[in-house]
Amino acid sequence: MKTSNKLLLGLLAVVIIGMIIFNIILKKQYDSKQSTRNKIQVDINTPADSTTITSDSIAMDEAIGNE
* Res 36: pLDDT: 73
Whole-number Cα distances in Å, 21 to 3, 16, 27, 30, 37: 27, 9, 10, 14, 25
With bands split at pLDDT 50, 70 and 90, how would you rate the model's confidence at 46? low
* Res 44: pLDDT: 56
Residue 1 CA from chain centroid, whole number: 48
Three-state DSSP string of 1-67: CCHHHHHHHHHHHHHHHHHHHHHHHHHHHHHHHHHHHHHHHHHHHHHHHHHHHHHHHHHHHHHHHHC
Residues 2-45 pLDDT 10s: 889 999 999 999 999 999 999 999 998 888 877 776 666 655 55
Higher pLDDT, 59 or 44: 59
Q: Model's pTM, two decimal places?
A: 0.49
Residue 57, pLDDT above cutoff 90: no
